[in-house]
Every structure is written in structure tokens, then in C-alpha cells.
Amino acid sequence: MFERRKPYRHLEINLQRDIKAFFGDYGSAQIAARELLFKISQPELLEAACRQSTSEGLGWYTEGESLQLHSSLVERLPPILRIYVGCGTALYGDITSADLIKIHTRSGKLSIMRYDDFLGQPIPKLMHRVKILFRQQDFNLFEYGEEYEPTNLYLKSRYINEESHGYAKQVEFDSQLENLKLFDFAGYGPKPSEFELKLRHSRWEIDGMRLVRSKAIPNLDDPCGHNFTYRNFIECGETQERTQLPNLPKEPESYTALYELSTKILDPVIDYFGMIKLTYGFCSPELAKEIPGRIAPKLDQHACHEKNRTGKLICDRLGAACDFIVEDEDMGEVLAWVAENTEFDRIYIYETNRPLHVSWSQNPVRQITKMDLTATEIRVPRTGTFTN
């Protein structure tokens, strides 16, 4: 239909045999081919073929919109979709250098995308896009970089299959990224700048084909969760305010632990009770020397992941801890809510009008200790394990 047809006798011998075996004669084959060609104008047939393709592991189908898949999988598509893509090549030319093919089922369009290191990057960037317009018999070309900001391709494993290079690692990466529950990947997903900022603030970074915890030291005024900055945890105690010691964590893992404490415990508390007051947060070895009274740096987790002069962990429980109070609330009721609704590690409570000590750890023991005051003014710990 797109070029002068070859006479039957000029076709390759294998093709002649196929025509005879499947259609009987050349004329019948041409009629069948023409009927199939014109079926690509029927959206319901395209959508049925797209659903079939997705069920067979060929690409990602958005209902009523489009099927996207890697160009290497096109030859496995149902005939009607292969013809749809073939019409695009008749208008545009060779598409073998493309990475992704997007079949628009209702708008009469075909998009061809090329990415920066598609197979080598877990989140490749769009560099080149061609939109072929069947109804206008034309195409538009978009180059990304200067005029257009390159967009990220998220969840790349959707568009390849188990035979593709690096498929297993890509699936693992995408699963890890989705499990963070940080981003909405509907449509095109977040803009690259928004994605990178939120990933950094959440203490994650991409290392090859893995997501790993950040090794960077954040700015003290960077957000630590939704309601605090790192400075809030460093400068919240009376002793730090009195001494004006820097009280800075040195280990990247300490900042990550403070972030987890803030997002996993404190942010939910604030969402439920309203704003809280931090009374004691991170404690460096220098600050611990200045605190009067009884403290237990080896146990209380206020030192996070910091080390002593010999390079050993100050508190091998790791994680992070803080003391806080919700003004005008019974802290016994706050404790009960925290225990029921958060991923806490350890809680220490004194009186119901005093701050609550709470910690987060990657392996929480969910231990609650009530520090009872005896008649002789001695604190006696009463410890139990909470399960819900």
C-alpha cells in the first residue's frame, strides 16, 4: 500500500510459499492485508491488542490512552500493532535506534523516544522525541536539553521484559523506589529537579542500580521531616543553649537516623496532637560532658551513630532519640498513642506532665519503661514490651 507492489514472481521464494500456504494466492493475501491495515483506525481493536500485549509481558498499557514498550519488543506484538508501528516508519523512517515506542490508541499518533543510556541508567533522561501524526501524515521532532528540560523515565522495568539487559536489577530498583512512598508516578511523575531534591532531603541517593542511604552531611537548615530542621534537634536542649557548643553530628548515619525519628514518629504525633516542643535532641560527646545530672549516653540513643575517640560507637543501639512534650496534653495519653501508631524503638516516661523520651531504630524492640518515683525520691524503672 505504501510502495509499488512487486509482482508475485519477484518475491522471495520463502515468501511465495508462505502466501500460498496461508492465503492460497497473492490476490487473497493483498485483500487480507488491506483489511488489516485499515483496522488500525479502530481504537477498540487497538486497545484489545494492547491489553493482550500487556498480559503477555509486552509493555505498559494505560487504559484508553497508550501502550509503551521497548523497541526490541515490537516484533512480538500482535499484527495490528506491528502494522500501526510500521505505518510510523513509512512516514518517518527507521526507528531501530529508538528506545521506547508509544502507541496512542485513540489520537492517531505514534511517539518514538530516545534516552540517555537507556539500558545503563535506572532512571534514564529523555533526549529525543518524535511524535508522528497519522491523520496529518506529518511528524514533530523535539530535542531535549536546551529548549526543553529532559524528563525522567521512572519505573523503567514496566517497558522491558525478563529477557532485557539488567531486567532483574531494574525490577529490584523500581520496587525499592516505590516502597519509599515518596513520589507520585502518575502521568510523567515528578520533574527531575523535584525528584532529586526530595530524594536528597529524604536521605537517599542513587548508586548505580541501587538506592542507598546518603553519605552527605546536610545543611543544618535543611528540612528534617515535615515540621523540623536538623538545627532543631541540635539546638533544642537547655545545656546546649547555655554552653552554645556546636553539638554537631559527624556521621552521615546520625542525620539519617534523626530524619527517620522525625518522619516515623514525630510527624505523625504532630499530625494528631498538634505542634510539640522538643526539650532534648542530639547529644554529642562534648555536650554530654556538660549535662548535669544522670544521663546514660551508652543506652539513651541521643548520640545516634556517633563514635568516641577510639572509633567505637557511643551507643550500640544506634537509631536516634529525643525528648518532647505536647503542651496541655496528658503525656500518658500521648505515650499510648505513640505506642499504638508509630514504629518506636524505646519509650521512657516519668510523670504525665513531663517530657516523653522516644527513640527510633531500624530494628525496634518496642520497649516501654516507666520511671516510677519512690518515697525516697529514687527512680525505679519498670519495663515492658509493647505489641499491637
Cell numbers representing residue 33 in the block: 492485508
Q: What's the farthest any 2 CA atoms get from each other in the chain?
A: 111
Residue 2 pLDDT exceeds 90: no
Q: Is the model's pLDDT at 376 over the cut of 70?
A: no
How far apart are the C-alpha atoms of 20 and 26, rounded to whole Å?
Answer: 7
**What's residue 387's pLDDT?**
61
What pLDDT is recorded for position 377? 58
Check residue 382 and give its pLDDT: 77
- Split at pLDDT 50, 70, 90, the class of 97 is confident
In tens, the pLDDT along 265-281 reads 999 999 999 999 999 99
Q: Which residue has the cell 572509633?
A: 311
Give the pLDDT confidence score for residue 147 in this predicted structure: 78
Which residue carries 479502530 as its cell? 42
The pLDDT confidence band at residue 388, using thresholds 50, 70 and 90, is low
Residue with cell 508501528: 85
pLDDT band at 374 (very low <50, low <70, confident <90, very high): low
Q: What is the pTM of this model?
A: 0.88
Q: Which residues of 245-262 are buried (b: 16+ CB within 10 A; e: fewer)?
A: bebebebbbbbbbbbbbb
Percent of the chain with pLDDT over 90: 87
Residue 218 pLDDT exceeds 80? yes
200, pLDDT greater than 90 = yes
Average pLDDT of the segment spanning 187-200: 95
Place 378 in a pLDDT band, splitting at 50, 70 and 90.
low
> In this predicted structure, what is the pLDDT of residue 316?
97
pLDDT band at 183 (very low <50, low <70, confident <90, very high): very high
* Percentage of residues in the chain having pLDDT higher than 70: 96
Output the average pLDDT for the chain. Answer: 93
d(CA 353, CA 350): 8
Kindly report, residue by residue over 128-155, the tens digit of the pLDDT. Answer: 999 999 999 999 999 998 778 899 999 9
Go through the domains of the chain in sequence order and give each one's CATH number: 1-41 (no CATH), 42-182 (no CATH), 223-385 (3.30.1380.10)
Q: Pick from 178, 186, 47: which is nearest to 105 by CA?
A: 47
pLDDT of 385 > 90? The answer is no
Average confidence (pLDDT) over 236-260: 96
Is the model's pLDDT at 1 over the cut of 80? no
Q: What region does 99 belong to: left with phi over 0, alpha with psi -120 to 50, or beta?
A: alpha
Record the cell numbers describing residue 233, joined without a space.
Answer: 534537634
d(CA 293, CA 298): 15
